[in-house]
């Protein structure tokens, strides 16, 4: 374990060496982990557990996800079951379906929770916003969370590359006295690299804010704003795309990931440094009130209610695909489709 102290805020980071694979297997020796759902997180976490030799089964509806699982080597009736069949067999139930689907399936999951079982989430949404979801775990089970800081695809790809992904963990309810060990062992079983502690509330509040802001919403908005400004002033699609996206993702952002923002600044020209240092405070002053507004919307539950209402509609998938097509059809991303194959590694 590694203790860190940032401006007086002390945290303990749990590393892989604290819970080596054999220790995790000892902790989970008598457990059967039933993963419900085969979306990005369900697929990534289940395959990583299976590849590392843990007792894991899948619970899915028959259809597209079921067929994908069969292609991935899961065996019908052996480690692949319909949802209620898997829930009935599991002592740790990983509830990894969408937030809206969790509301619909909660009665079935609750019915299959036995005394001393563990209920596992990778997102605190259902429990934190229980007034809207009605997901209130019974008192006689452990309730735990492991939230990888990346998509399920990243969870899987990092594992295949021999790397781990940072994850947060939380203990919402420790009925058995073993909740932390079960949680941490499962975290490393799914491919985490190191863990930091949080709560269900803090996880969902930070996650919803991040997704709406710098991780996705703000990123798309900022990229599009700059691209449009450049195009409106006569720059070609190639120039606007490269200056907005290609240079950011392929050159500069990896430097930030490697050693921090100051490292990226230090490896750019003095002209770039000066402009970035001058303009960064203006963007911060403009954006901070917007991010604060977003956070307050998350805190009040308004964002959760919007998501539940929208994602529960019968035509949700159809409308989602329409909105995603609108992004895909933007000139900026159409330019990207033609320019990405021209990267040196692709030629």
- Determine whether 235 is an active site residue: no
Contact in structure between 150 and 40 (CB atoms under 8 Å): no
Could you give the CA distance from residue 98 to residue 103 in angstroms, rounded to a whole number?
Answer: 9
In angstroms, the CA 181 to CA 25 distance is 11
**DSSP state letters, 168-215:** EEEEEE-SSS-HHHHHHHHHHHTTEEEEEE--HHHHHHHHHHHHHTTT
According to DSSP, the residues that pair with 195 across neighbouring strands are: 14, 167
Kindly report the CA angle at 64 between 210 and 328, in degrees rounded to 5? Answer: 45
CA neighbor of 30 nearest in space, from 114, 91, 112, 73:
91
Nearest-angstrom CA–CA distance, 301 and 309: 12
Q: Which of 123, 158, 172, 194 is catalytic?
A: 123
Of all residues in the chain, what percent are helix, strand and coil, respectively (each to 5)? 60, 15, 25
CB 231 within 8 A of CB 240: yes
Q: Note whether 185 and 19 are within 8 A (CB).
A: yes
Cβ 183 vs Cβ 169: under 8 Å: yes
66 phi/psi in degrees, rounded to 5: -60, -45
Distance from C-alpha of 15 to C-alpha of 236, rounded to nearest angstrom:
48
In DSSP terms, which residues pair with 296 in a beta bridge?
none
The span from the CA of 120 to the CA of 42, in Å, is 12
- Rounded distance between C-alpha atoms, residue 45 and residue 39, angstroms: 10
Q: Tell me how far apart the alpha carbons of residues 171 and 184 are, in angstroms, rounded to a whole number.
A: 10
Burial class (CB in 10 A: 0-12, 13-18, 19+), 1: exposed
Catalytic sites, residue numbers: 123
């Amino acid at each position: 374990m590694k203790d860190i102290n940032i401006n007086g805020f002390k945290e303990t980071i749990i590393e892989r060496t604290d819970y080596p694979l054999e220790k995790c297997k000892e902790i989970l020796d008598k457990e059967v982990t039933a993963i419900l759902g085969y979306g990005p997180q369900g697929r990534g976490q289940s395959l990583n557990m299976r590849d590392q030799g843990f007792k894991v089964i899948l619970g899915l509806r028959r259809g597209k996800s079921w067929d994908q699982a069969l292609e991935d080597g899961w065996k019908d009736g052996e480690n692949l079951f319909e949802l209620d069949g898997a829930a009935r067999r599991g002592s740790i139930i990983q509830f990894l379906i969408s937030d809206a689907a969790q509301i619909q399936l909660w009665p079935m999951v609750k019915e299959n929770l036995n005394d001393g079982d563990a209920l596992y989430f990778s997102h605190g949404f259902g429990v934190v916003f229980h007034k809207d979801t009605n997901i209130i775990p019974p008192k006689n089970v452990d309730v735990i969370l492991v939230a990888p800081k990346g998509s399920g695809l990243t969870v899987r790809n990092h594992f295949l590359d021999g790397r781990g992904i940072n994850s947060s963990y939380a203990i919402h309810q420790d009925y058995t006295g073993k909740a932390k060990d079960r949680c941490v062992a499962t975290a490393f079983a799914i491919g985490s690299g190191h863990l930091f502690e949080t709560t269900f509330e803090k996880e969902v509040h930070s996650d919803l804010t991040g997704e709406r802001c710098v991780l996705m919403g703000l990123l798309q908005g900022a990229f599009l704003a700059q691209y449009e400004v450049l195009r409106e002033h006569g720059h070609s699609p190639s120039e606007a795309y490269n200056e907005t996206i290609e240079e950011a993702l392929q050159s500069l952002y990896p430097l930030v990931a490697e050693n921090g923002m100051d490292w990226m600044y230090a490896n750019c020209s003095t002209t770039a440094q000066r402009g970035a240092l001058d303009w960064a405070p203006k963007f911060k002053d403009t954006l901070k009130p917007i991010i604060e507004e977003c956070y307050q919307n998350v805190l009040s539950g308004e964002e959760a209610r919007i998501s539940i209402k929208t994602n529960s509609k019968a035509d949700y998938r159809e409308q989602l695909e329409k909105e995603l097509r609108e992004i895909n059809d933007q000139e900026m991303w159409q330019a990207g489709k033609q320019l990405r194959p021209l990267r040196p590694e692709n030629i």
